[in-house]
Amino acid sequence: MNKPITVLTRKGEQQLKDELNELRSVRRREVAEKIKVALSFGDLSENSEYDEAKNEQGMIESRIAEIEQTLAHAQVIDDEDISTEKVGIGTTVKILDMDMDEEMEFKMVGTKEADIDSGKMSDESPIGKAIMNREVGEEVEIETPSGAVKMKILEIRKDD
């Protein structure tokens, strides 16, 4: 079975690699020490510290596996490959919500990097899908969970 390709920016790839390194070199050691201390308390049947440390270990190992899988099947977009002629992953986009007369700006990223609170919008979100591969000046009607919204692309650029 083929694994789906994950699209990442170079910066997103580096963030995942840094997190993976942190999990492997620091967090694994910390949780191993917690398990060791909890084991010293004796009876495991009523040892909540041990149970908590083992759960934490499971979450860390699961996250490590998820990051390794993502990186193994990632398509990384290099900054020099990013064009500002059309909206694409790695571009920063300014759009106008024509109904509310409000401007919004965000960076287009793959799903694994998406964090709307940090201004990073997924290419698979309703707005992301609707504006991908569109040019400055184009207007699009976007179906969102709260109804149809009309937007206009005002600017496409790439940031450092």
Residues paired with residue 100 on neighbouring β-strands, in sequence order: none
Domain containing residue 64: CATH number: 1.10.287.180
What confidence tier does 129 reach under pLDDT thresholds 50, 70, 90?
A: very high
- Looking at the structure, tell me whether residues 66 and 112 fall in a common domain: no
Predicted local confidence at residue 55, as pLDDT: 93
Range of the domain at 26: 6-77
- Looking at the structure, tell me whether residues 102 and 151 fall in a common domain: yes
User: 127-149: b or e for each residue (b if 16 or more CB lie within 10 Å)?
Assistant: bbebbbebebeeebebeeeeeeb
- Looking at the structure, tell me whether residues 104 and 73 fall in a common domain: no
Mean pLDDT of the chain: 89
- Looking at the structure, tell me whether residues 91 and 139 fall in a common domain: yes
Rounded alpha-carbon distances, angstroms, from residue 50 to 27, 76, 145, 151: 16, 40, 43, 53
Does residue 20 surpass a pLDDT of 70?
A: yes
Reported as a single tens digit per residue, the pLDDT across 24-48 is 999 999 999 998 988 887 776 677 8
How many domains does one find in the chain? 2
Reported as a single tens digit per residue, the pLDDT across 104-128 is 999 999 888 899 899 999 999 989 9
- Looking at the structure, tell me whether residues 111 and 131 fall in a common domain: yes
Of 82-86, 145-149, 152-156, least confident by mean pLDDT is 145-149
Domain containing residue 86: CATH number: 3.10.50.30
- Looking at the structure, tell me whether residues 107 and 129 fall in a common domain: yes
User: 54-93: b or e for each residue (b if 16 or more CB lie within 10 Å)?
Assistant: beebeebeeebeebeebbeebebbeeeebebeebbbbbbb
* Rounded Cα distance, 148 and 82, in Å: 29
Predicted local confidence at residue 77, as pLDDT: 86
- Looking at the structure, tell me whether residues 30 and 72 fall in a common domain: yes
pTM value is: 0.74
